[in-house]
Amino acid sequence: MGKYHISLSPCASGVLSPHWRVPQLVRDGGARRTLSHVLIVCALTVAGVANAQTPPTPANPPDPFAAIRHVNLSGNRAVWAEFAGQLRERVESWKSFNFGAMLPAPATVEASDVFVLTRALVSVDLHAGSHLRLFAQGKSSFSTTRELTGGRRPSDVDEMDVHQLYAEVVTSPRGREGGAFSLRGGRLEMAYGRERLVSALDWANTKRSFDGVTARYGNRSGSVTAFWARPVVVRLYQADRRDWTTALFGVYGTLQAARIAMGTEVYWIGQQRDSGAVGWNGTVGRELRHTAGLRLWGPTRGQSALDLEGEAAIQFGEVGNNAIGASMFAGGIGYTFRRARGAPRVYINLDYASGDAAPGGEVGTFSQLNPQPHPFLGLADIAGRQNIVDVSGGGAMRLGRTLVAAADYHLLQRASQHDAFYALSGGVSRSASFGTAKSVASELDLSFKWPVDRHRLLLAGWSHVFPGAFITQGGSPSGADLPIDFVYFMAQYTL
């Protein structure tokens, strides 16, 4: 098929900085379908802008798809189905990806590239009365040619597959607290708390799901959920399958009582990996790791200008015959100027995850488990929550009724100079021998979020990563110490 060029859709040009020019790169013919999707989403978004500026009236209902989403399947309305869908397009532009590190010849990869990620989700939620439910969701995730290291990855492409398929039994609320119990089993998403350790990984083009079972009891004051599951391994062009060597299990409790101003979460998460080849800084073997943690946040009510959050966890267990002793902390404090125009908020955050003190023997590296790192350690996603210290600060404010702009600055360094620098995936990005310095990088992020209405969402952002001493020490001889630039634009339409 013929080759042609792509660039950012015109609907994005008013959101991104006019000083950033996305390189015009040649793409393969498979991009034709993706580009048509981009135009569809942008057209729907533009239409949404017009609708969002018009107050809802009988002639202009606030949700024209309500009748499509909810369909009664029985005369007494005891059986019904809810249909939903989502189409998402994200354009990513990278310059000096991974600090410009290149694979040796004859590998044909580039350090800079522009590509488009497409994701479609379609679901049906079948209810038989108020106690029985069957939920099915399919997904299709594609990418235009990605010439960066790794090519098209499992986080980018999952041609067509079952993302969720589970049955759920729910009891009716009883008592003054309105408590109800639910049991869910099958292929499902799991996400708890701020999703630092267990997440559905929505930022990834393919998302994350598990094969397992959850049991939840909840009332007005909080909930407790027990779970046991195996992660689902994405296979780009084949049916996804569960990872039989890994099990995730635990209990997650949330308390948000009306009499206190702070929310509380307590959890225990176990992960067992039986592959026999789990490696942490020279220690290899089967792994059984337990994570016990506590999270506090608030205020949960009122109009307080001050907000606080803190989460701490310890890990213990063994890798082979060697003990695990690791920990993490994440927290922040923010202040919102509620009476100022745009209600600006300023904040400072600290993220810490322990590293190993020495190669081999006892394992001191914290494991990030199944996280969503993207919102926490910088939008360029260069780091995972392992052997890391990130001090960050920034601010955000409304530029319109729903448009929010944010700026953040991160200082990233290794917690231990005797352990590696870990990538977003949790794998080793640079080994401990790469350099002796702790400073890895600093990162400046600018981002925009515009929920146009209940169906349409626009995101855009720019990140610049400055290499630190650790990167320059090992990367200078090969030129792999270049600053990174990352620009993205995302349009999402949810039915």
Select the CATH number that applies to the domain covering 4-53+76-494 from these four: 2.60.40.420, 3.40.190.10, 2.40.50.100, 2.40.160.100.
Answer: 2.40.160.100
Cα distance between residue 46 and residue 53, in whole Å: 11
pLDDT by residue for the chain (495 residues), tens only, comes to 333 333 333 343 333 333 333 333 333 444 445 445 544 444 444 444 444 444 454 434 467 777 778 899 888 888 999 999 999 999 999 999 999 988 766 666 889 999 999 999 999 999 998 899 999 999 999 999 999 988 999 999 999 999 999 999 999 776 666 789 999 999 999 999 999 999 999 999 999 999 999 999 999 889 999 999 999 999 999 999 999 999 999 999 999 876 777 899 999 999 999 987 889 999 999 999 999 999 999 886 667 899 999 999 999 999 999 999 999 999 999 999 999 999 999 999 999 999 999 999 999 999 999 999 888 999 999 999 999 999 999 999 999 999 999 999 999 999 999 999 999 999 999 999 999 999 999 999 999 999 999 999 999 999 999 999 999 999 888 888 999 999 999 999 998
Cα distance between residue 404 and residue 400, in whole Å: 7
Q: Which of 464, 429, 475, 420 is nearest to 100 (CA)?
A: 475
Is 351 in contact with 368 (CB distance < 8 Å)? no
Three-state DSSP state, 420: coil
Residue 92 β-bridge partners: 115, 488
Q: Spell out the domain ranges in the chain.
A: 4-53+76-494
Three-state DSSP state, 47: helix
Whether the CA torsion 371, 375, 379, 385 is positive or negative: it is: negative
Q: C-alpha angle with apex 447: 444 to 450, nearest 5 degrees?
A: 175
Is 123 in contact with 140 (CB distance < 8 Å)? no
Hey, how many other C-beta atoms are within 10 angstroms of the C-beta on 423? 17
C-alpha pair distances (Å), 220 with each of 175, 183, 223, 299, 409:
11, 19, 8, 17, 38
Alpha helices by DSSP H, 157-207: none
| Tokens (6 digits) for 444 | 């400046």
150: CB partners within 8 A, 6+ apart: none
Residue 265 β-bridge partners: 254, 295
Cα distance between residue 198 and residue 452, in whole Å: 29
| Tokens (6 digits) for 219 | 């009332």
The dihedral region occupied by 159, where left means phi > 0, alpha psi between -120 and 50, and beta the remainder, is alpha
- The number of residues in the chain equals 495
C-alpha pair distances (Å), 466 with each of 253, 332, 387, 461:
39, 23, 19, 17
Q: How far is CA 389 from the centre of its chain?
A: 19
